[in-house]
Amino acid sequence: MRKIIVGVMGPGDNATAADLKNARELGQLIAHQGWVLLTGGRNVGVMDAASAGAKAANGLTIGILPDDDAISTAVDIAIITDMGNARNNINVLSSNVVIACGMGAGTASEIALALKGNKKVILLNQDAVESQRFFKSLSPNNVYAVDSPDAAIAIAREIIGDGST
Amino acid sequence: MRKIIVGVMGPGDNATAADLKNARELGQLIAHQGWVLLTGGRNVGVMDAASAGAKAANGLTIGILPDDDAISTAVDIAIITDMGNARNNINVLSSNVVIACGMGAGTASEIALALKGNKKVILLNQDAVESQRFFKSLSPNNVYAVDSPDAAIAIAREIIGDGST
Amino acid sequence: MRKIIVGVMGPGDNATAADLKNARELGQLIAHQGWVLLTGGRNVGVMDAASAGAKAANGLTIGILPDDDAISTAVDIAIITDMGNARNNINVLSSNVVIACGMGAGTASEIALALKGNKKVILLNQDAVESQRFFKSLSPNNVYAVDSPDAAIAIAREIIGDGST
Amino acid sequence: MRKIIVGVMGPGDNATAADLKNARELGQLIAHQGWVLLTGGRNVGVMDAASAGAKAANGLTIGILPDDDAISTAVDIAIITDMGNARNNINVLSSNVVIACGMGAGTASEIALALKGNKKVILLNQDAVESQRFFKSLSPNNVYAVDSPDAAIAIAREIIGDGST
């Protein structure tokens, strides 16, 4: 009965145009799989774009938020934590798989917390060689680097176990 | 687009038979209203009974959990916090209205945190005069005492604003 | 080597003059015992008064704070949580004994969280019969009601085990 | 009146012999400066070694802990959070400067959370080129790489402002 949740993490205020395009596409693809999308829930950057993409495909969206302000209008279920970045750990532990779309200090903390919690992480930040090298050095078996939303979903399907048919 | 969430809080390990019956009925009634049910998510006591009631009525259920163990099978969306009772604050802040079904130290903390966060709380613990007096002394305008699940839902409807038609 | 920590919890913005006088005296008495004082750390109400009292008696003071703003000048060690009331649970779990000085929704949440965590709580809020009755109904063996800072310290000494000589 | 706190973060279970030696030396040097040492507080790895070093030099030590188990005997002040890795954010926000001694997923999360919170981070993990490159790419002005505990303390002094005389 428990639903499969896929987390999409990425920059709020410093997302690139490519990050936003990828995030929106990830949201759509996650909804198409019948998975629930989980993000940081605010009305900016990757979290907003991914949520909007999922809603455009009739998906269900969860936002893990610091407070009741500036919630993305594409969030169905708003979880209010009264916490700042301590909530990053909730984001990743609640996700069956984490997809990092873009990079920044907050996103890096989520990737590291995911690996600490034995979660698998898919890095969709095409040209960032440093981050791929670093996170693979931390956890060689739990980090995947991809160059498109489609490739991210294909790996997520394998991890989750829906890709076996 | 954002869904209405009603939290049902109550004892895990020391729930009475009446608490469990009320919790199950609350879950059903919440689902019938089209609201999402939020609980502490574990497979015991009021949280388990309320979630089972909501699922029996085809509702959507969220559990805010300490970890990945002992999750109620009636929880659709499991939010894993890696926190013990600090998560009680998340439970109440994420709920449009909080219904306390039964009483104990954990439930009392959730009621107090809800009042601290300016949430309205409905007390469904029929014979507990001390708790009604105490919480009304803390916040006279935000505490309601009722003696049946139906009465709790009627007040929740007024608070949420669905009862105006 | 580990130091004994006594938490003093009470209203920030709505403390009465009696609460503030009691808090200051508690801080002094705690420092005289050689105990560390722990409070919510902000520059208002009971937490500020208790911290100032402890510093006047050359004690050591810890504040568990939401952020870096409005810290009491009488706090030696500021622990910044980036959390709102979720930090209330940290306050009580880190204290060997909790003294509640005055009452309000936040203080009530700390008392309840302390009892949930099997901590002993001393209520110093003289005339509040409702709160004494309620918390004793939750946990008869862990709640003490006193009517003066001296009486609170005497009970704290017994609980901590310094009073046996 | 508020004390200067320096956080030393590093592996618990997978610390190398060099990490432990550096940690112990960092603890001593921090105590010699009159600063308070903050760690994760458990009785293993870098946190235990740093705390022991600080106590050997008569320093004051704080541990930010998940629970009341397995606390380092060299911790003076134990802050019990009832949180797992969400407490990592508390560790770094409570520190004036963060020194990372060794590397792992947990340590990486603390560095990233520190940078997210605009804290300066000193990396003392001599040969780990990937981590230096990665964190400098995230925040060029807030990351320092050093190759000895003495060099770490010299930079910490500059950051804190004690090095100006």
Q: Domain of B137: which CATH number? A: 3.40.50.450
For residue D134, the model assigns a pLDDT of 95
Chains within contact range of chain B (3+ C-beta pairs < 8 Å): A, C, D
For residue C128, the model assigns a pLDDT of 79
Instruction: Find chain C residues with C-beta within 8 A of D80's C-beta.
Output: 90, 93-94
Q: Which residues of C18-51 are buried (b: 16+ CB within 10 A; e: fewer)?
A: ebbebbbbbbbbbbebebbbbbbbbbebbbbbbb
Is there a domain that residue C165 lies in? Answer: no
Whether B89 and chain D come into contact, CB under 8 Å, resolves to no
Residue of B85, B116, B130 with shortest CB distance to C106: B116
The first and second tokens of residue B12, run together, are 């895990």
For residue B1, the model assigns a pLDDT of 75
Kind plus residue range of the DSSP H or E element containing C49: helix C45-56
For residue D56, the model assigns a pLDDT of 98
CA D79 to chain centre: 16
* Residue written as token pair 């600490």: A116
Q: Which of D98, D120, D131, D138 should one mutate to test binding to chain A, selecting the residue with the greatest count of A CBs within 10 A?
A: D138
For residue B164, the model assigns a pLDDT of 41
Asked whether residue C4 carries a pLDDT value surpassing 70, the answer given is yes
In angstroms and rounded to an integer, the radius of gyration of the C-alpha atoms of chain C is 14
Whether A57 and chain B come into contact, CB under 8 Å, resolves to no
Chains within contact range of chain A (3+ C-beta pairs < 8 Å): B, C, D
Instruction: Find chain A residues with C-beta within 8 A of B91's C-beta.
Output: none
> What is the C-alpha separation between D43 and B60, in angstroms, rounded?
43
Asked whether residue A56 carries a pLDDT value surpassing 60, the answer given is yes
* pLDDT tens readout for residues A94-138: 999 999 999 999 999 999 999 999 999 999 986 788 899 999 999
Is there a domain that residue A165 lies in? Answer: no
Q: Which residues contact B93 (CB under 8 A, 6 or more apart)?
A: A68, A80, A81, A82, B113, B114, B117, B119
CB distance D119 to D100 below 8 Å: no
Asked whether residue A37 carries a pLDDT value surpassing 60, the answer given is yes
Is there a domain that residue A138 lies in? Answer: yes
> What is the C-alpha separation between A82 and D136, in angstroms, rounded?
30
* Residue written as token pair 């030396």: D25
Mean pLDDT of D51-61: 98
The first and second tokens of residue A119, run together, are 């979660």
Whether D85 and chain B come into contact, CB under 8 Å, resolves to yes
CA distance A103 to chain C (A): 22
Share of chain D above pLDDT 70, in %: 97
Asked whether residue A163 carries a pLDDT value surpassing 90, the answer given is no
Instruction: Find chain B residues with C-beta within 8 A of A73's C-beta.
Output: 1-2
pLDDT-derived band at A140 (thresholds 50, 70, 90) equals very high
Instruction: Find chain D residues with C-beta within 8 A of A106's C-beta.
Output: 112, 116
Is there a domain that residue D27 lies in? Answer: yes
Tell me the helix, strand and coil percentages in chain A, rounded to 5: 40, 20, 40
What is the DSSP pairing of strand C5-9 with strand B36-39? unpaired
CB contact under 8 A, A90 and B76: no
Spatial CA neighbour of A10 closest among A75, A86, A118, A98: A98
Which one-letter amino acid corresponds to residue A23?
A
CB contact under 8 A, C74 and D1: yes
* Residue written as token pair 């340590």: D107
For residue A1, the model assigns a pLDDT of 74
* pLDDT tens readout for residues C7-33: 999 999 999 999 999 999 999 999 999
CA distance D39 to chain A (A): 17
Asked whether residue C164 carries a pLDDT value surpassing 80, the answer given is no
Q: How far is CA A71 from CA A47, A49, B38, in A?
A: 10, 12, 19
pLDDT-derived band at D165 (thresholds 50, 70, 90) equals very low
User: In sequence order, what DSSP letters do the residues of B25-89 get, joined into one string?
Assistant: HHHHHHHHTTPEEEE--BSSHHHHHHHHHHHHTT--EEEEESSSSSB-TT-SEEEE-SBSTTHHH
Is there a domain that residue A150 lies in? Answer: yes
Is there a domain that residue D165 lies in? Answer: no
Residue of D85, D89, D112 with shortest CB distance to A108: D112
Mean pLDDT of D25-46: 98
Residue of C55, C74, C94 with shortest CB distance to D79: C94
Of all residues in chain C, the one with the smallest CA distance to B113 is C109
Residue of B85, B103, B131 with shortest CB distance to C89: B85
> What is the C-alpha separation between A11 and C107, in angstroms, rounded?
37
CB contact under 8 A, C106 and B88: no
DSSP classification of residue C83: B
CA distance B88 to chain D (A): 12
CB contact under 8 A, D86 and B81: yes
Residue of B74, B76, B94 with shortest CB distance to A79: B94
CB contact under 8 A, A82 and C82: no
Q: Which of C67, C68, C82, C89 should one mutate to test binding to chain A, selecting the residue with the greatest count of A CBs within 10 A?
A: C82
For residue B162, the model assigns a pLDDT of 54
User: In sequence order, what DSSP letters do the residues of chain D get, joined into one string?
Assistant: -PPPEEEEE--SSS--HHHHHHHHHHHHHHHHTTPEEEE--BSSHHHHHHHHHHHHTT--EEEEESSSSSB-TT-SEEEE-SBSTTHHHHHHHT-SEEEEES--HHHHHHHHHHHHTT--EEEE-TT-HHHHHHHHHH-TTTEEE-SSHHHHHHHHHHHHT-TT-
CB distance D44 to D14 below 8 Å: no
The first and second tokens of residue C101, run together, are 């000085």
Domain that holds residue B75: 5-160
DSSP classification of residue A14: S
Chains within contact range of chain C (3+ C-beta pairs < 8 Å): A, B, D
Is there a domain that residue B58 lies in? Answer: yes
Is there a domain that residue B107 lies in? Answer: yes
Mean pLDDT of C131-151: 95
The first and second tokens of residue A4, run together, are 């499969």
Average pLDDT, chain A: 95
> What is the C-alpha separation between D82 and C159, in angstroms, rounded?
22
For residue C162, the model assigns a pLDDT of 54
pLDDT-derived band at A162 (thresholds 50, 70, 90) equals low
Of all residues in chain C, the one with the smallest CA distance to B87 is C86
pLDDT-derived band at D164 (thresholds 50, 70, 90) equals very low
**Grouped pLDDT means (10 residues each) for chain B, 165 residues:** 95 96 98 98 98 98 96 98 96 98 97 98 87 94 96 98 53
CB distance A38 to A95 below 8 Å: yes
Of all residues in chain C, the one with the smallest CA distance to D67 is C93
> What is the C-alpha separation between C136 and B130, in angstroms, rounded?
10
For residue C165, the model assigns a pLDDT of 37
Q: Give the number of beta-carbon pairs within 8 Å between B and D.
A: 15
Mean pLDDT of D6-11: 98
Q: Which of C4, C94, C113 should one mutate to test binding to chain D, selecting the residue with the greatest count of D CBs within 10 A?
A: C94
Q: Phi-psi bin for D58: left (phi > 0), alpha (psi -120 to 50), beta? A: left
Q: What domain count does chain D have?
A: 1
Beta partners for residue B38, in sequence order: B7, B62
Mean pLDDT of D116-130: 90
Whether B137 and chain C come into contact, CB under 8 Å, resolves to yes
* pLDDT tens readout for residues D63-81: 999 999 999 999 999 999 9
Spatial CA neighbour of B22 closest among B151, B149, B161: B149
Kind plus residue range of the DSSP H or E element containing C97: strand C97-101
DSSP classification of residue A104: -
Of all residues in chain D, the one with the smallest CA distance to A114 is D105
For residue D67, the model assigns a pLDDT of 96
CB contact under 8 A, D85 and A113: yes
